[in-house]
Structure 1
Amino acid sequence: MKDVLHRQVEKVAGAFDDPRVASMVSDALNRTLSDTLTRDGDEYFVITGDIPAMWLRDSTTQLWPYLRMLGESPEIADIVAGVLKRQFRQIEHDPYANSFNPGPTGAHYEPGDLNDDPWVWEQKYEIDSLAFPLLLAHRFWRATGRTDVFDDRGHRVFRTILEQMRLEQRHEERSAYRFVRPGAIATETLVRDGLGTPVGHTGMTWGGFRPSDDACTHGYNIPGNLLAAQGLRHLAEICLPVWNDAALASAALELSAELVAGVREFGLVEHPRHGLIYAYEVDGLGEQLLMDDANMPSLLSLPLLSPDVLDPEVYARTRAFVLSPDNPWWFSGTAASGVGSPHTRERRVWPIGFAVEGLTSGSAERQRELVALLLATDAGTNRMHEAFDVDDPARFSRPWFSWADSMFCELALTVASA
């Protein structure tokens, strides 16, 4: 495994004049493996960095740069398999939870939450928590051909993911999920005693929280639904040859098509300057939110995460909107200009957002510019952070955010592999 990592770092060193790029990639790749992973039998528990819990989303994206190495390193393949097995265990335990403890420790982000399961760090239901493991499973399966992770539990979990997404198409009528955080600010809890803001039926699947872990303004998150649609296509592709489950495959493709149709009918908005674009959230009752958030899945990240279900022309117009002052969470300052998030302070931008911009740009020149920008705004720490001030990168949040480290690695490795 060390030889494989060394070869990747050497490729980066040969692709960039600034030696700091290779140094940062090397440190981040090795730190993720040494400091975030804990082996538990044939599974791996993955902390996010400076928070000692495992997010289903983060544990997928933290592994993203290693997926290009699966064919070269059986050890890395075993790690990814172990993370998938852990994700499947967690989803089976509670498909509404976004993050988990390494055991029934009783640790919680907020002890006053309605949910007090000792295994669950936080039970914020986010569509991407179910969809990202499907993307990871598909990438793993396509790269290795291994099916050992798709045991009986894996089969049950795939059904659970499908059934929950379908149930949440009728959130108002059918869902028993509630999230209440007593005394919390609006973005940290759900209104109407935990049910969330009202929604109408659209064919899309409901989510209570965004990938930022902030409460949705409207219950249908568009990038989340398109990620789910992509993940369901992957589910169908896996379950036919692995389990010969034609019924599950057909049901997954049917639901995927319903989500895409719902986005097409309810999730497009005519913008006065950009034309027909994707909204960020809608409620199916006429309300729409125009913005983008640096956290993935984002509207900006659609070609990266949901390439088979997006409309390229709508995406191109949406991209222009996202990377402009028309996006209320795009900020410009003396050090940087980019996409931030309501999750952090105004005038703070996210390294994850810059990495996504580069990975979806189709421009090697722009990718190199963004690598240089990220190097120049790390505040001398040799690490990526959650967010930093557009005028003063020394003002940042989260000193160790492993997901951001991995996205920087993915951007640099993409340039080096071109």
Structure 2
Amino acid sequence: MNAVPTVLLDVADQVRTLLAPRFPDAAAMFRQCFLNTLETTVKRLPDGTTFVLTGDIPAMWLRDSAAQIEPYVRHAAADDDLRAMVRGVIRRHARYVALDPYANAFNETPDGQGHQDDHTELTPWVWERKWELDSLCHPLRLLHLYWTATGDTEVFDEDVHRMLAVAVATMRAEQHPDSSPYSFERPHPEQPTDTLVNEGRGPACGYTGMVRSAFRPSDDACTHGFLVPANMFAVAVLGHVAAFARDFYADQALADDAAALRAQIEDGIRRYAIVDHPRHGPIYAYETDGLGNHLLMDDANVPSLLSIPYLGYRPATDPTYRNTRAFVLSAGNPYYSEGRHARGVGSPHTKPGQVWPMSLAMQGLTSTDAAEQAELLTMLAATTAGTGYIHESFDPDDPGVFTRPWFGWANSLYAQFAMEVALP
């Protein structure tokens, strides 16, 4: 167990105290969820980097690790050791991205653990090599949040510079899937969504200006190549990349390229990703292929359509987002479920009818309605099956039926939401 900085213990006590009068159950579980990542999944390494497990899987996902430590970042300015821990995650992200920008999860050492039988360009460092656009976006978001919170210029070393350049170059390559160097096949997939169609090349796509993502943040294969919320996430973080390249590295070429790519993706979303829904009006599709096909749904994993304001793409008051949110939180979304104890968004990654607490927390984080937030916080605290921890998914008619008892990202996202309620 890692030593917990005093500043985080103080935050845990403060939030618990503030929540207790209105939300006693949420208050009682806040500390253990808030500190779960730091106490059980963070490993400080001798080289100054930080390795972060997802929880019950012994690998470091770029996406999960960034999201898991996000609740701590806002407090990093107050503690040298906490700053060093977060900076260590960023440095490990930078090294991993340089090793393989198409991989989504990595080993602590080059020991060849993980999915080494997959048909793709593997190295012993890689646990899994599913190309997911958000796997590059989450580390860039973390870097921006850390810089904003601390003003620490030490983080901007040459490894981070390389990460910025490699991220942009990889996104550029995936604007043109027909010439992409990436392919992926799993010889014996447990589910069809564990591998790519078309001999590992994935579904056909037309050029849109957006960036192709082979897999979703759930690690399931995309139905259509352009995952819209991931491209929205890219728009948000590419603005940060352009500023970092210009301000810290005097790399105007990279800054210009990131800005141009951002504009092209934004234009592609506007032209290809908005659908006129008969009930809700103009809404964002979850996926499209640039060939006239759209998938109308949402998934609990982030980036999602529900998370658009959280990603920094559009405010919660944006009319198209409001329409999309109404669709996502309705029976029109095939992965929205209701039961006796909860209602919310699930995922095709788990069996039908399950609700994912992650989506409930995200619904709360993106809500402008205090009553809705209160209902969601109460719902989250009441559906842990008495464990006081957040799970991957649960049966809304019987929360005692759940998946993944140890899931660091879900605990951290709950903590973020609880902090927003307690410390608006």
Same fold (TM over 0.5): yes
Q: Specify which of 105, 114, 131 is matched with residue 111 of structure 2.
A: 105
For the residues of structure 1 that align with 2:315 and 2:160, how far apart are their CA atoms?
Answer: 25
Native 8 Å contact 1:350 1:386 kept in 2? yes
The reply to whether residue 76 of structure 1 matches residue 82 of structure 2 is yes
For the residues of structure 2 that align with 1:310 and 1:260, how far apart are their CA atoms?
Answer: 18
Q: Specify which of 173, 178, 184 is matched with residue 183 of structure 2.
A: 178
Equivalent position SS for 2:199: helix
For the residues of structure 1 that align with 2:84 and 2:193, how far apart are their CA atoms?
Answer: 38
- The one-letter amino acid of 1:186's match is P
* Alignment match, 2:126: 120
* Alignment match, 2:64: 58
Q: What displacement does 1:149 show?
A: 1.9
Q: Specify which of 367, 388, 403 is matched with residue 394 of structure 2.
A: 388
For the residues of structure 2 that align with 1:262 and 1:21, how far apart are their CA atoms?
Answer: 41
- Pairs within 5 Å for 1:257-276: 257-276=263-282
- The one-letter amino acid of 2:340's match is T
* Alignment match, 1:202: 208
Q: What displacement does 1:297 show?
A: 0.2
Equivalent position SS for 1:276: strand
Structure 1 residues 274-330: Cα deviation after superposition (integer angstroms, max 9, x where no partner): 011000000111110000000000000000013359992111100000000000100
RMSD: 1.5
* Alignment match, 1:330: 336
For the residues of structure 1 that align with 2:316 and 2:172, how far apart are their CA atoms?
Answer: 20
Structure 1 residues 192-234: Cα deviation after superposition (integer angstroms, max 9, x where no partner): 1110010000000101000000000000000000101111001
Structure 1 residues 241-275: Cα deviation after superposition (integer angstroms, max 9, x where no partner): 21122221121111011101001100010111001
For the residues of structure 2 that align with 1:364 and 1:74, how far apart are their CA atoms?
Answer: 35
Identity of aligned residues (%): 47
Native 8 Å contact 2:316 2:368 kept in 1? no
Structure 1 residues 143-171: Cα deviation after superposition (integer angstroms, max 9, x where no partner): 11112222112111111110110111011
Q: What displacement does 1:21 show?
A: 2.5
Q: What displacement does 1:110 show?
A: 6.1
Q: Specify which of 133, 137, 141 is matched with residue 131 of structure 1.
A: 137
With structure 1 as the length reference, what TM-score do the two structures score?
0.97
Q: What displacement does 1:6 show?
A: 2.2
- Pairs within 5 Å for 1:298-377: 298-307=304-313, 312-377=318-383
Q: Specify which of 12, 17, 22 is matched with residue 14 of structure 1.
A: 17
Native 8 Å contact 2:316 2:367 kept in 1? no
The reply to whether residue 192 of structure 1 matches residue 195 of structure 2 is no
For the residues of structure 2 that align with 1:112 and 1:171, how far apart are their CA atoms?
Answer: 20
Change over 3 Å in CA distance of 1:311–1:417 after alignment to 2: closer
* Alignment match, 1:37: 42
- The one-letter amino acid of 2:9's match is H
Q: Specify which of 243, 256, 272 is matched with residue 237 of structure 1.
A: 243
Question: Matched residue pairs, number?
Answer: 417
For the residues of structure 1 that align with 2:120 and 2:232, how far apart are their CA atoms?
Answer: 29
For the residues of structure 2 that align with 1:116 and 1:93, how far apart are their CA atoms?
Answer: 10
Q: What displacement does 1:11 show?
A: 2.2
- The one-letter amino acid of 1:363's match is D
Native 8 Å contact 1:15 1:415 kept in 2? no
- Pairs within 5 Å for 1:137-156: 137-156=143-162
For the residues of structure 1 that align with 2:301 and 2:37, how far apart are their CA atoms?
Answer: 19
Equivalent position SS for 1:320: helix
Native 8 Å contact 1:226 1:309 kept in 2? no
- The one-letter amino acid of 1:130's match is L
